Chain A
Amino acid sequence: MSRVKTPFLVVLGLIWLAPVYLLIVNASKSVDGYDAATVWKPAGFSLFTNFGDAWSKAALGDTLVATTLYSVIAPVLAVLIGAAAGYAIVVLKLKRGFLWFVFIFGGTIFPLQMILMPLFSGYADSGLYDTRVGMIIVYTAISVPFSAFVMRNFFTGIARSVFEAAVVDGGGLFRIFRSIYLPMAGSALAAIFILQATFVWNDLLLGLTLSQSESVRPIMPALTGLQSTYGGAALPTVLAGGLLVSLPTVILFLAAQRFFSRGLALGQF
């Protein structure tokens, strides 16, 4: 059995890596040197020229700045709001805490399709449509339920005596939250942050619906724009764009694999 096992896994793994190989090889070809008939053969190395083209042609530069803002600010806000909710429910023993929790967590159950149209109308009426603030607000709201879910579980594991001692020491409730409970939750906060930042970075649907201009539009809708206009534009440029937008999440994933596995264990996906 084990004599077949390893070779089988290696072959299957190589098949799995083939699309990645094709992406890298063809994103590295110069626009003039690209030949549709020989996509499996490497030819030249113009990856950085193509990155540059993708950057300027699809205005990926502008959009990259906007997306970076969204994927940092929204998860940070969501982590704090979620942690505050977890603190209220578990530590401060909020009345009917489980109901509050079910209400907050229930926000994750229905698909995005259910909220797109009202958000679009509401954003258009309130002037939030096609603004960076609007994007940050919606990404924060989407990330809060999961954050509250994890933080509630995390705080449940902390001994009650920690809170009692802090109260006896005369700390205010907000200070106990900020300087005792938040620092203790460092690893959980990081796990939520990484998962939610990845979600925001990879989002297509909300960006497509709630933004329009190059300085607000997140990176994934911008990349689909590059893809659909490549009738005359070059395929290596599109592929370089695809590679460019994937690098941050792949690097984050490789660097923080254990956080991803923990997120899985928590049931994020």
Chain B
Amino acid sequence: MTSTIERPAPVKRRTTAQQSARTGARAAPLFGLPAVAVVALLLYLPFLWTTYVSFTDYDGLASPIWSGLANYKAMFSDPDLTGALVNTLLWVAGMVTLPVVLGLLIAVLTYGHKWGTWLRLPFLLPYAISGVAVGVIWGFVLQPDGALGQMLGFFGLPGAHTGWLQAGPGNTLMMIVAVTWQAAGVNALLFVVGLQSIPAEPLEAARLDGAEGFRMFWHQLWPQLRPITTVVIGLSIVGSLKTFDVVWVMTQGGPGTSSETLALSMYKETFVLNDYGQGAAIALFLSLVTFAASILYLRYQLGDSREQG
């Protein structure tokens, strides 16, 4: 194919290049259009419709009727929904502590370790498993008198006959443990990336001065891990606000609504109770909180890519 192309004469070279650069600028929108079109049609347009519907009374059949802030007021007064709000806050609190602290611990202990990659592998494995599969596995582990109960009984510990998932807020806490099992490894990997970016010389100097163990961590490593910690916490908040899969599989939000999260309430209000307006209000509320949390860490990401061009 290339053999048939004739090189333009040297004299014309510059003008051809300039001309093509101009054609490039003119044709550029054509290459960008498909991306903008799918994103606009399938993400932004639905986003706008949901925003509108959240201020209306709408069952998906008759036309939406404007109802102002009624759906938002219900979110903070309806006991089922305030329960879901509290559970969602529990999820956020749980996910910014347990998997983050564990991830940091695993990262610091394995970083620079001879077998670091191998020692990290058990923690990374659950990350490759879907939320649904995590729910199936932990639903099994947490059965009444199931794997966890039998283990506690074997060691003569109390709680062998606890129904782990049968009452709130205990069921939410146990599901946070299940997701911690899945998420700690990724956080560890992110912290390792952070540790790799710390220059070695100051650490070496501190070590020569006799800094070691916890003191080394607190005074030397921790301050330099601040940017990556922000990213990890931002991602944890965003992820925990969306908690759906694991809860859907393990308890379906029950018993009753005791373990419902807002993401689950949104699904139920919309597709089970046909209260589209209420579902939309929950979705928009979640989006606003997510957006606020995203700003935390997107600053770092977009900041980086902007510098590049």
Of residues A40, A114, A144, A173, which shows the largest number of chain B Cβ atoms within 10 Å of its Cβ? A114
| Cβ contact of A88, chosen from B31, B248, B267, B280, cutoff 8 A | B31
In angstroms, Cα B247 to Cα A69, docked, is 27
A109 within 8 A of B: yes
Minimal Cβ-Cβ distance residue in A for B280: A117
Contacts of B29 in A (CB 8 A): 88, 94
Interface size of B by CB at 8 A reads 109
Contacts of A159 in B (CB 8 A): none
Tell me which of A9-17, A44-52, A185-193 binds B.
Answer: A9-17
How close is B290's CB to chain A, nearest CB, in angstroms? 6
Q: Do residues A117 and B130 form an inter-chain contact, with CB atoms below 8 A?
A: no
Contacts of B109 in A (CB 8 A): 5, 8-9
Q: Do residues B122 and A144 form an inter-chain contact, with CB atoms below 8 A?
A: no
Contacts of B151 in A (CB 8 A): 40
A66 within 8 A of B: no
| Cβ contact of A168, chosen from B16, B235, B294, cutoff 8 A | B16
In angstroms, Cα B7 to Cα A170, docked, is 7
In angstroms, Cα B212 to Cα A201, docked, is 45
Q: Do residues A121 and B263 form an inter-chain contact, with CB atoms below 8 A?
A: no
| Cβ contact of A202, chosen from B38, B132, B249, cutoff 8 A | B132
A84 within 8 A of B: yes
Q: Mark B residues whose CB is within 8 Å of A.
A: 5-8, 13, 16-17, 20-21, 23-25, 27-32, 34-36, 38-47, 49-50, 53, 60, 106, 109-110, 113, 115, 119, 121-133, 135-141, 143, 145-147, 150-151, 181, 186, 189-190, 193, 212-213, 231, 235, 238-239, 241-242, 244-245, 248-249, 252, 263, 266-267, 270-271, 276, 279-280, 282-284, 286-287, 290-291, 294, 297-298, 301-302, 305-306, 308-309
Of residues B115, B143, B305, which shows the largest number of chain A Cβ atoms within 10 Å of its Cβ? B305
In angstroms, Cα B6 to Cα A138, docked, is 44
| Cβ contact of A40, chosen from B42, B119, B147, B213, cutoff 8 A | B147
Minimal Cβ-Cβ distance residue in A for B301: A267
How many A-B Cβ pairs are below 8 Å?
300
Q: Do residues A22 and B147 form an inter-chain contact, with CB atoms below 8 A?
A: yes
Contacts of A32 in B (CB 8 A): none
Q: Do residues B6 and A118 form an inter-chain contact, with CB atoms below 8 A?
A: no
Given A85-B31, A88-B32, A95-B28, A115 and B21 touching (CB < 8 A)?
A: no
Question: 7 other contacts beyond A111-B241, A167-B20, A209-B271, with CB at 8 A cut-off?
Answer: A13-B123, A17-B125, A39-B140, A116-B270, A157-B308, A224-B135, A261-B189
A43 within 8 A of B: no
Within 8 A of B (CB), among A8-56: 8-10, 12-14, 16-17, 19-20, 22-23, 26, 36-40
Minimal Cβ-Cβ distance residue in A for B238: A111
Contacts of B279 in A (CB 8 A): 117
Listed A/B pairs (11) with beta-carbon separation below 8 Å: A19-B137, A87-B31, A109-B294, A115-B50, A141-B43, A168-B8, A169-B7, A205-B244, A208-B267, A224-B249, A249-B130
In angstroms, Cα B32 to Cα A183, docked, is 19
Q: Interface majority SS on A: helix, strand, loop or mixed?
A: helix
| Cβ contact of A118, chosen from B13, B46, B193, B306, cutoff 8 A | B46
Contacts of B31 in A (CB 8 A): 84-85, 87-88, 92, 94, 173, 177
Q: Do residues B140 and A23 form an inter-chain contact, with CB atoms below 8 A?
A: yes
Given A113-B263, A120-B271, A223-B132, A81 and B27 touching (CB < 8 A)?
A: no
| Cβ contact of B305, chosen from A153, A241, A252, cutoff 8 A | A153
In angstroms, Cα B42 to Cα A140, docked, is 10
Given A82-B35, A109-B294, A141-B39, A93 and B17 touching (CB < 8 A)?
A: no
| Cβ contact of B17, chosen from A140, A168, A242, cutoff 8 A | A168
In angstroms, Cα B238 to Cα A121, docked, is 26
Contacts of B147 in A (CB 8 A): 22, 39-40
| Cβ contact of B212, chosen from A1, A37, A152, cutoff 8 A | A1
Q: Chain A, 127-158, contact with B by CB distance < 8 Å: what is the 0/1 string?
A: 00000000001101110110011001100110
A76 within 8 A of B: no
